[in-house]
Amino acid sequence: MSPARTIPTARFGWDVGGAHVKVSLVDAGGTVLDVAQWACPLWQGLDHLHRTIDLVCERWPQARMACAHHAVTMTGEMVDLFADRAAGVRAIVATLAQRLGSPLRFYAGEVGWLAAADCAAGWRHVASANWLATASWIATRMTNALLVDIGSTTTDIIPIVDGRVAALAATDAGRLASGELVYHGVVRTPLCGVAHRIEFGGATLNVMNEWFATTADVYRLTGELDPLHDVQPSADQGPKTPAASRARLARMIGRDAHEASELEWLRFAQRWRALQLREIGANLLRVVAAHPALAAAPLVGAGCGRFLVAALAREEARGYIDFGALAGVPQECAAWAATCAPSVAVALLAA
């Protein structure tokens, strides 16, 4: 993830989400040179996107050059800053067009690529298409596979059959119905959204429906959340230490951290992990049930929570392929490429 050298024709892939902006730099031959991610709480205002664009251009000054090419996908139009998704697409497109100015194309799935001026009319094709970009690129490399992208907030489960994306739905609403979109992530998901009852101390307890803790607290204690991906505020705006995470987990069941040992709280975190994995796994089974050809297909893991994808592959006795390895990304940024897969995918599709 070290800043890449200046190249004559820089090509950038952007994934503008509601909580993060992810950007990849590739050369004219389609080799990924660098990948980076910035926290961008878009729901708090477009000024956060402006500041993130400044940081991108600070890292890669060539992003401002007239010869730079930018390929964009997004999910940020969903945030409640905007009156509706169409308004969100228009605002994000206008901001990027104003700030970048150079050749700018927006990924629109089967429609292809749209110029900024065409996105208002074609917003339905542009909105929340980042999963399709990732899956479409994977389909150029694999015949049968299941993309499982577990990020900070959501999970995409996308079937690839006979070298094509075989998703049953194209919109977020439809994908929520099909199981191809699951609102579970490894950083921002409130634990009361993972389960309503959980075992602790030999008893099964109701969970408090309060935003006392998030999945980041779970994976800090299990040691699986990379600190580089732990960039969102904690539920109580407090520190991101093991002790603070234990205190937040304890609040979920009306307790204080001093009432149990560190080992007991670790086991409690592992129960939350198992419940989240079970929910994602149940949706994986729903997707597979609709595509018999995928009964033994490998999982392609992407997102900062792909450690759970590897766990699912072990549970299901399936093969596992990391997106960074599949994309042939140099070792020094392969992990970031997998974390920021849609930004890499749009850059490679555009190239």
Residue 155 lies in a domain: no
15 in a structural domain: yes
Q: Are residues 195 and 121 in the same domain?
A: no
Residues 262 and 333 in one domain: no
Whole-number Å distance between alpha carbons of 128 and 67: 27
What's the CATH number where 75 sits? 3.30.420.40
The partner residues of 199 in beta bridges, in order of sequence, read 204
Q: Is there a domain that residue 153 lies in? A: no
CA dist., res. 149 & res. 154, Å (int): 8
In a domain, 33, yes or no: yes
Ranges of residues in the chain whose predicted pLDDT is under 50: 1-2, 4-5
Q: Around 194, how many Cα atoms within 13 Å sit in the side-chain half-sphere?
A: 34
In terms of domains, do 121 and 23 share one? yes
CATH of the domain at 229: 3.30.420.190
Asked if 32 and 93 sit in the same domain, the reply is yes
Domain count, the chain: 2
* pLDDT number for residue 4: 45
Say if residue 44 is in the same domain as residue 121.
yes
Residue 32's domain comprises 11-131+326-350
Do the domain assignments include residue 154?
A: no
In a domain, 159, yes or no: no
Instruction: Check residue 42 and give its pLDDT.
Output: 97
Residue 2, pLDDT score: 47
The pLDDT, as a whole number, for residue 8 is 58
In a domain, 338, yes or no: yes
In the prediction, which pLDDT does 161 show?
Answer: 98
State the SS3 of the chain.
CCCCCCCCCCEEEEEECCCEEEEEEECCCCCEEEEEEEECCHHHCCHHHHHHHHHHHHHCHHHHCCCCEEEEEECHHHCCCCCCHHHHHHHHHHHHHHHHCCCEEEECHHHCEEEHHHCCCCHHHHCCCHHHHHHHHHHCCCCCEEEEEECCCCEEEEEEECCEECCCCCCHHHHHHHCCEECCCCCCCEHHHCCCEEEECCEEEECCCCCCCEHHHHHHHHCCCCHHHCCCCCCCCCCCCHHHHHHHHHHCCCCCHHHCCHHHHHHHHHHHHHHHHHHHHHHHHHHHHCCHHHCCCCEEEECCCHHHHHHHHHHHCCCEEEHHHHCCCCHHHHHHHHHCHHHHHHHHHHC
Are 200 and 92 within one domain? Answer: no
Looking at the fold, whether 18 and 111 belong to one and the same domain comes out as yes
155 backbone φψ class: left, alpha, beta (φ>0; ψ -120 to 50): beta
Domain boundary among 277, 300, 315: 277
Residue 143 within any structural domain of the chain:
no
